[in-house]
Structure 1
Amino acid sequence: MNNPKTKILIIDDDLDYCALITETLIDQYQCYFAHDGQSALDQFAAVQPSLVMLDLGLPDMPGLALCEKLASAANGNPYALFVVSGDSSIDTKLKAFAMGADDFIGKPFEIKELISRIERDLKLLKERHALQQSHQEAYQLVEVTMKQASQYSYVMSFFKNLNACTDVEGVIQTFFDAMRFFRLRASISVRKPTPMMLDFNGAQLSPIEANVYETIANKGRLFEFGQRLMVNGKHVSFLVKNMPADDAVKGEVRDYTAAIVEGLEAKLEDLSLRSGMTQAIADLKQTVADISSAINEHNTIVNSVLSNMLTKISSSYHLLELTEIQEDFFTKLVEEGVINLSQSEGALFNTQVDLHRLIKQLEALKLV
């Protein structure tokens, strides 16, 4: 038996628009419709769709308010929220994201783009759900650990763990461990040395969240909107999605997240420098190898030329009818040339030894 089609709930008061969307999606998805806020809530509860397409301009209820009601009615069931609006301003996008939207598209839009983004959003939803299930036991273990240490002692432990990281993936894992300790849901955007964006469960970011990073990653060290806090550094930013309501606790979060981003910055800079030094050492090794090869080739050619020269000169003495004094002069001249070339070869050999010593010093410095 074929698998049932994925359910999509389309909430819009424009009947022509709904008909167009139906014609576009009906072959691949099972489509349901609602034309106002209350019927949308009723349909949502009855259908339990995997994706909700919500137009913000509804007749009986503000679209952003409906976002919040849908989240409450979901009872933990996963779904993707795709917001559609004629207002594509950053303020509207931020408000939609703060209310839980996974994607945003402005009217008018291309049908091909809509289909592509629906497929992507459903794929991300499936990946997040699978990762959430696989990480549930790990989260429970972390929660037990969280109860055994204070906030500030954990910050010290965080820096120690961070110092032991040898790659960007380890840094990100250490960051997420810290967020779980503080009971914070967060995502992270790393720009150096390897660009990547990940959510707290290891999934890719939704398109709208990625857009939020691009928009406010340069808005100062701390940027707070709604129940969210963006913490920005030069090479890394992270977004706390569940800021506490209590002002005192919120102040504590600001304090230790500011310390955490400083640690992340320092470690990512260190990894970048180590990566650059590793590449520089590799390049230097190749250069030394090339020099050695060139010297060996040069020596082979010079020795061959000198050997031929000596043979020809020796065999030509009787033809040139040179005196004994002249023969001795030419012989000594050639011998002096050979000695000078040998001394030059020794200097080149010493240069190779010095370069190898420099490589060893750089490799030792990299390990410090």
Structure 2
Amino acid sequence: MFIELDETTAQSRHKALVVDDDPTLRMSMEMTLSEDFEVVGLESGEECLAELDTQTPDLICLDIEMDGMDGHQTCRALRALGLRLPVIFVSSHDSLEERIKAFDAGGDDFMVKPFDPALLHLKANALVRLHQEREKLEQERKSAQDMAFGFLKTAGETGVLLEFLQKSIACTDYQALGLQVLHTAAQYDLQVHLQIRHPEGTLNLTPQGPASPLEVSILEKSADLGRLFRFGQRLAVNYPSVTLLVQNLPEDEEVVGRIRDNLALLAESAHGIASTIMIRHQAHAQAHAIQAAASQTAATVEALRSLYQQQQVETRLRLDQLIHGVESTYVFLGLSENQEGILSEALRSGADEVLTLFRLGEVFEARLQSILTTLRK
């Protein structure tokens, strides 16, 4: 039976079940507990379990010796249901064996009939407070455990990204980068198709190898869907040079949220590495072009140097031939010996001036040699 309480009071009180097949004793316990509890009196263990289908009390006072299900059986049954609410056994036998049986059945306290109302009042309130504190501690423990597990999982996922950055930074071509991206996605248990767009063309990869024509067309369409786009169990993640298309998103939306964040970081990092590879390729091409130009310039300078040296030799030879030719005509000109000397002196002086100009060209020769040395390094 219920002890009548006004609505405001009932809402602020704990609930208790008193289970005993002795009406007098049951009524006495109900009256004792009614000061602090909203009390329901029941006659049997079967009624107690049926009542638990509709409400969960804060306390049960349970007689041990009852017809049908006794107190021990009733307590075992409610513990089997996973209910951890406090149970006070009430028995007319005060022995160590009875107390051990009560403990083994899942009881929290033990009282002997006839009971002391003040003691029952104190035990009931103390057990409810203890149960509430235990429940609070259990919630805090579970919350801390969930937080720790979440932290460890997040740390592990972050470690996967850090490993990707460490390994991908050494990639020198887009194929190696693409394989590293797929390997990283696989560590999240994800099947991902990948497209990397670069100046030399487009790379399309799947975990099974190069993408098929249909898979390529899907990747190309996905690249136009914005930064993040979800359709069913698929997710497209796009950056300027990279598209990731997840084929198997899990059902858990919390996990999907973490996957979305991690893949956004993965795609952004892959885009950055792809840009680095592009810069390296461009720098290599430029260095190759500069080297080719330097080789061509060196060949040209070498040719100029050879021509200059040949010109020096030819000029000296021609001057000597000129002087010899003029002097061989003296016999036909009828010149005096003095005039021949003057004319020869003038010719040789002019030749020396020309050869002096070539000696100034030695500076030019040294500079050409310096240029050649630099270009050949």
**SS, match of residue 183 in structure 1:** coil
If asked which structure has higher relative contact order (CA below 8 Å, sep 6+), I would say: 1
* Cα distance in 2 between the residues matched to 1:222 and 1:190: 16
The residue aligned with 1:249 is: 255
- List 4+ stretches of structure 1 deviating above 6 A: none
The alpha carbon displacement at 1:334 in A equals: 2.6
The alpha-carbon deviation at position 337 of structure 1 amounts to 2.7
Contact 2:323-2:347 within 8 A present in 1 as well: no
Query: Quick check: 1:288–1:352 contact (8 Å CA) kept in 2?
Result: no
Give the letter for the 1:198 counterpart: L
Pick the aligned partner of 2:318 from 302, 308, 312.
312
In structure 1, what is the equivalent of residue 350 of structure 2? 329
Among 325, 344, 348, the residue aligned to 2:368: 348
1:260-317: CA deviations, max 9, x gaps?
Answer: 1111111111111111212222222222221222222222222222211111111212
Matches within 5 A, 1:53-68: none
Equivalent residue for 2:246, pick from 237, 240, 245: 240
Distance 1:278 1:209 in 2: 32
Q: Is the 8 A contact 2:227 2:239 kept in 1?
A: yes
Taking a change above 3 Å as real, the CA distance of residues 351 and 317 of structure 1, as seen in their structure-2 partners, is same
User: Deviations for 1:131-186, whole angstroms, at most 9, x for unmatched residues?
Assistant: xxxxxxxxxxxxxxxx9x81111111111111122222221121111111000001
Contact 2:242–2:270, Cα closer than 8 Å, also in 1 = yes
Name the counterpart of 1:276: 282
Q: 1:201 aligns with which of 196, 208, 218?
A: 208
Q: 2:317, 2:355 → 1: CA distance?
A: 11
Q: Give the 3 Å change call, closer, same or farther, for CA 295–206 of structure 1 in structure 2.
A: closer
* Structure 2: unaligned runs, 5 residues or longer: 1-152, 328-342
Q: TM-score if structure 2 supplies the norm length?
A: 0.51
CA distance in 1, matches of 2:369, 2:269: 45
SS in 2 for 1:195: strand
Superposed displacement of residue 218, structure 1:
2.8
User: Over the residues paired in the alignment, what is the CA RMSD in angstroms?
Assistant: 2.3
Q: Deviations over 1:88-138 (max 9, x none)?
A: xxxxxxxxxxxxxxxxxxxxxxxxxxxxxxxxxxxxxxxxxxxxxxxxxxx
**Aligned partner (choices 232, 256, 259) of residue 226 of structure 1:** 232
Shift of the 318–350 alpha-carbon distance from structure 1 to 2, 3 Å rule, reads: closer
Cα separation, 2, equivalents of 1:164 and 1:188: 19
Question: How many residue pairs get matched?
Answer: 209
Percent identical residues: 23
Once the two structures are superposed, the pairs formed by residues 266-305 of structure 1 within 5 Å of their partners are 266-305=272-311
SS in 2 for 1:150: helix
User: What is the CA–CA distance in structure 2 between the aligned matches of 1:354 and 1:232, rounded to whole Å?
Assistant: 47
Query: CA 1:310/1:237 → structure 2, altered by over 3 Å: closer, same or farther?
Result: same
Q: Secondary structure at the match of 2:240?
A: coil
* Cα distance between partner residues in 2 of 1:219 and 1:170: 26
Could you tell me which runs of 5 or more consecutive residues in structure 1 were left unpaired when the two chains were aligned: 1-146, 358-368
